[in-house]
Amino acid sequence: MARRIDHARYSKARRYLVAVGVTAFAAGSRLLLAYTEPQPPILVLFTGAAGVSAWFGGLGPALLTIAISAALDFWFFDPHLAIAVHRWTDLLDLGIFALVAFAVAWLCESLHAARRLVEDRARELSLVSANERAWKDRYEAAVRASGHILYDFDRAGGQAMFSGACRPLLGYDAEELGGIDWSVLVHPDDLPRYRLARSSGDGLEVEYRVRHRGGRWITLHDVGQKIHDPDGRVVRVVGFLKDVTAQRQAEALVRASEERLRLAVEATGLGVTATVFGPDGEVRFEWTREARRAFGVPDDVELTVAELLARVHPADVAAVRAAVRASLDPAGDGSDNLEFRIVRPEGAVRWLGCQGRTVFDTAVDPPRPLRNIGIVRDVTERKATAEQLAESFALIDALVFKAPIGMAFIDRGFRYVRVNEKLAEFNGVPAAEHIGRTVAQIVPDLWPQLEPLLRDGLGGGPERVNIEIEGQTSAQPGRRHWMLSQYPIRAGDKLLGVGITVIETTAQKRIEASLREADHRKDTFIAMLAHELRNPLAPIRNALALLGVARDAPERAGSLAVIGRQVEQMAHLLDDLLDVSRITRGRLTLRRESITLDSVMTRAAETASPWIAARRHSFVVDIPPAPIVLDADPVRLAQVFSNLFTNAAKYTEPGGAIRVSAAVHGARVQVRVADTGVGIAAEHLPRLFEMFSQVGPTETRSEGGLGIGLALARGLVEMHGGEITARSPGLGRGSEFVVDLPLAAAASRRPRAPSGPALVDPPTGRRILVADDNVDNADTLAMLLEALGNDVHTVYDGDAAVSACAEFRPDVVFLDIGMPKRDGYEVCRWIRQQPWGAAPVIIAQTGWGQDEDRRRARAAGFDHHLTKPADPDRLLALLARTAAARSSAA
């Protein structure tokens, strides 16, 4: 669209200059055209110049153009270029030009004025329309914000218009609602009330339910105004709709709550008190039954002040009187709130809580109390609960303060707010001196480790549990270990600080190190156990091979002797392991008797003599000649000293010396076993008597044991009430072991004569059943017993043992415990249940040798319990004694 010219936008000088320029252009063009044929009309160009000046500059510049053009026209009439007019027609043309040019100028000015008027009106209308739209938008926004719907029902046209919060309230857009029959949405039960409100009266206010687009019912409060035509007919209804669903639901909840409260008050037995004060000082009590029961007053007893005060606990009478006076004082607010004790007629003490308010007659001066309305309830349980809670809080506080772990609360400035005694002990600073000081001030050495953890917790990070911290504090110098946990503490969304718990794990770390060392010793023990078990197997295997090829009796006898010695060594090894286990679990029982120390030394020296002789040691025993009597187990005590003698022989180079001495000190005797052997390093002495302890690399010394001998010796000595210690000047300088034992009491110092098994002939002619799932063990034992002239039957499981016993009726039964089908216990119980089952001697022969195993064997009916591998001599002696006992009984 071409740009419109508005001459008011340009300055006055510019408009007149344009008029002069346009006129000059027209004059120049006319001058040029003067020499053309045919010549144009003289005034056409000047009329156009006047129109341009009028359009661009307005009426004033146009008049200037007309004036200049009229003057210049004289130059173009005959005679040319002379100011002279000789024809009257020229004057007529000039007049016509002036009129036409003036009319054109006036027309342009009028058009400009009309356009400006139109534009001004258009602007005014635009402003009015914008204001209306803005007002309408603000009104619509306000209506939507208020949650209302505006409506306009045109009854004449049958149309409805809606605006406001249509979609939030009903789920429909305003345009959709305009096309829906409103009565269709109204709840059927509310439709009569809705139609009645719209048909009568000028205004309307009604509540009814409307179906939401989602299917639910909402309650609307409809307030409107009816508009009538001149004939009084309703033509329009305008108004607004307000959603009161939540309000009505809340009111229903309040009503339900009030009803529940009423029922709850009745159910809880709250008593209502109404005390009326007469003008003459008379007091009348209008109390409910629950209030009477609270005081323990029967229904048929008249309430009086004296009666009530008599039931108040003597210690609370003064407080009750004071509260009553305060509630009846018109200078106060008339309220009373008191808890006190009463004494029931049966003597029970109960706590009551009374709350009330006094109403005064203000028409008189001073105001007189009219009545006191209140409630009374039994608060005995609450008082007891409060006391218990107070005690619990005090206990919890004490537990936290005295807890064996460090605990603290640290605020967002890293300052201690609360600290218990244990953490104060860790930090070496009293708990009270922590408060208000930062963590960096209290434990500066640990702050570099603690800072990132605490910053993470105070920055809203997650809980951190069991973070290992190591370092030192002023109270705990040196390398220490702690386990720290921190957890943010919040009040709602507000972070208050972090709580921390600290557990010192220094001892645990040391235990872990000890366990690792013990695990290492265990691995060493297992390796040595394999070594010690393989060592006897090699000569046994060689001896068996020699028996297969040897023909001479001496060679066969030598092989049998090797097998016997190695089997004895393996049995001794297993016995030591079992003894250590029994001592560790407290299952080993000592068979104490009065014995002499020299008998123990003799027995121990006999056991260790093969080692001493093999290594050509000098062995000297220096014991006082007077008998030294001990109350001890001779076998176990001999086991202690045989271990010491054997160790001395093992760890002393061939040709060394071993010296045993004893000395009595008061009621105790000290036995010293000294050698000239390899000695013991000082760092090994504290661990010498621990299980699996080795004092050096075992693979470089063939005599290295399992590391259980000294542990067994210490356990046995301590069971006798003694103590064993070790000393050594160092490696290569020998060692000395000192055993300190209590002497026997004076009344029991007569030693018993040593007794041994009676010499009896091996048993023959017996019916013997051997039952063992270890075929080799069963067959070899059977062959041994058959070689002695017995009738032996062999089976390999429990069912076969039962069948064989029923048919064979043995005199002696050897039963393994862990047999298939039926174990040894079941077989033994079955035998004892038979009519002939009391006669056989039943012997358990098993690898299970604990005391509990022996107890179970006795309970099942076994006569004897032998642990594999059983000593054949002991087994034959047991059979011989059994046979002799049966013969004497017969």
d(CA 222, CA 201): 14
pLDDT at residue 795 tops 90? yes
Residue 51 lies in a domain: yes
- Check the CA dihedral 568-571-577-578 and report its sign: negative
Same domain flag for 648 and 500: no
| CA-based nearest residue to 542, from 565, 563, 523 | 563
Under the banding of pLDDT at 50, 70 and 90, the label for residue 2 is very low
Same domain flag for 464 and 492: yes
Q: Does residue 483 or residue 106 have the better pLDDT?
A: 483
Under the banding of pLDDT at 50, 70 and 90, the label for residue 550 is low
Q: Does residue 594 or residue 95 have the better pLDDT?
A: 594
- pLDDT tens for 632-649 read 888 888 888 988 888 888
| CA-based nearest residue to 843, from 890, 808, 883, 803 | 883
Last residue of a domain, one of 504, 522, 555: 504
Under the banding of pLDDT at 50, 70 and 90, the label for residue 115 is confident
Quick one: tokens of 721?
Answer: 């009430």
- pLDDT tens for 293-305 read 888 888 788 888 8
Same domain flag for 496 and 513: no
pLDDT at residue 856 tops 70? yes
Please give the average per-residue pLDDT across 97-102, as a whole number. Answer: 74
Same domain flag for 540 and 497: no
Q: Checking DSSP bridges between strand 812-815 and strand 864-867, what pairing results, if any?
A: unpaired
Quick one: tokens of 733?
Answer: 């300088």
Q: How far is CA 305 from the centre of its chain?
A: 59
Q: Give CA separation, 882 vs 394, 633, 869, 873, in Å.
A: 72, 26, 20, 14
Domain range for 877:
767-889
H-helix or E-strand spanning residue 376? strand 368-378
Q: Does residue 61 or residue 525 have the better pLDDT?
A: 61
What is the per-residue pLDDT for 762? 64
Please give the average per-residue pLDDT across 51-62, as a whole number. Answer: 74
d(CA 314, CA 347): 13
Please give the average per-residue pLDDT across 182-188, as a whole number. Answer: 88
Residue 213 lies in a domain: yes
Last residue of a domain, one of 385, 420, 450: 385
pLDDT at residue 888 tops 60? no
Under the banding of pLDDT at 50, 70 and 90, the label for residue 24 is confident
Same domain flag for 691 and 826: no
pLDDT at residue 392 tops 90? no
Residue 271 lies in a domain: no
What is the per-residue pLDDT for 804? 92
Under the banding of pLDDT at 50, 70 and 90, the label for residue 196 is confident
Q: Does residue 145 or residue 403 have the better pLDDT?
A: 403
Same domain flag for 26 and 112: yes
Please give the average per-residue pLDDT across 261-270, as a whole number. Answer: 66
pLDDT at residue 104 tops 90? no
Cis peptide before 869 (omega within 30 of 0): yes
Calculate the average pLDDT of the chain: 79
Last residue of a domain, one of 118, 138, 168: 118
Residue 622 lies in a domain: yes
d(CA 648, CA 642): 10
pLDDT at residue 830 tops 90? yes
What is the chain's percent helix, strand, coil content, to nearest 5?
A: 50, 25, 30
pLDDT at residue 755 tops 50? no
Environment class of 132 (CB within 10 Å of its CB; exposed 0-12, middle 13-18, buried 19+): exposed
pLDDT at residue 4 tops 60? no
What is the per-residue pLDDT for 753? 47
Q: Does residue 872 or residue 205 have the better pLDDT?
A: 205
For residue 686, the 8-state DSSP code is: G
Please give the average per-residue pLDDT across 553-565, as a whole number. Answer: 63
What is the per-residue pLDDT for 313? 92
pTM recorded for the entire structure: 0.36
Please give the average per-residue pLDDT across 358-380, as a whole number. Answer: 88
pLDDT at residue 848 tops 60? yes
Residue 269 lies in a domain: no
Same domain flag for 496 and 622: no
Q: Does residue 474 or residue 549 have the better pLDDT?
A: 474
Least confident of 123-132, 362-371, 394-403: 123-132
- pLDDT tens for 771-792 read 998 887 788 888 888 888 889 9
Task: Give the CA-trace dihedral at 651, 653, 655, 656, to 10 degrees.
Answer: -50
d(CA 240, CA 219): 13
What is the per-residue pLDDT for 567? 66
Same domain flag for 851 and 837: yes
| CA-based nearest residue to 222, from 202, 195, 241, 243 | 241
The rounded percent of the chain whose pLDDT value lies above 90 is 14
For residue 613, what is the domain's CATH number?
A: 3.30.565.10
Q: How far is CA 684 from the centre of its chain?
A: 45
Task: Give the CA-trace dihedral at 397, 402, 404, 406, to 10 degrees.
Answer: 70
- pLDDT tens for 129-160 read 666 666 566 666 666 666 788 888 887 667 78
pLDDT at residue 712 tops 80? no
What is the per-residue pLDDT for 656? 92
Same domain flag for 742 and 790: no
Q: Does residue 887 or residue 808 have the better pLDDT?
A: 808
Same domain flag for 601 and 726: yes
Residue 826 lies in a domain: yes
Quick one: tokens of 657?
Answer: 């010396």
Same domain flag for 648 and 713: yes
Under the banding of pLDDT at 50, 70 and 90, the label for residue 539 is low
Residue 35 lies in a domain: yes
| CA-based nearest residue to 480, from 515, 445, 452 | 445
Q: Does residue 319 or residue 270 have the better pLDDT?
A: 319
DSSP 433-465: HHBT-BHHHH-TTTHHHHHHHHHHHHTT---EE
Quick one: tokens of 874?
Answer: 């002991």
Quick one: tokens of 89?
Answer: 């027609």
Same domain flag for 18 and 82: yes
- 495: CB partners within 8 A, 6+ apart: 412, 458, 460, 488, 489
For residue 306, what is the domain's CATH number?
A: 3.30.450.20
Q: Does residue 667 or residue 560 have the better pLDDT?
A: 667
What is the per-residue pLDDT for 801? 93
pLDDT at residue 244 tops 80? yes
For residue 569, what is the domain's CATH number?
A: 1.10.287.130
Residue 129 lies in a domain: no
The number of distinct structural domains making up the chain is: 7
Q: Checking DSSP bridges between strand 668-675 and strand 480-491, what pairing results, if any?
A: unpaired
Q: Using only the alpha carbons of the chain, give its radius of gyration.
A: 62
Under the banding of pLDDT at 50, 70 and 90, the label for residue 754 is very low
What is the per-residue pLDDT for 83? 47
- Check the CA dihedral 87-89-92-94 and report its sign: negative
What is the per-residue pLDDT for 1? 38
Under the banding of pLDDT at 50, 70 and 90, the label for residue 698 is very low
Under the banding of pLDDT at 50, 70 and 90, the label for residue 551 is low
In degrees, rounded to 5, the angle at the alpha carbon of residue 142 between the alpha carbons of residues 137 and 148 is 115
pLDDT at residue 442 tops 70? yes
What is the per-residue pLDDT for 699? 37
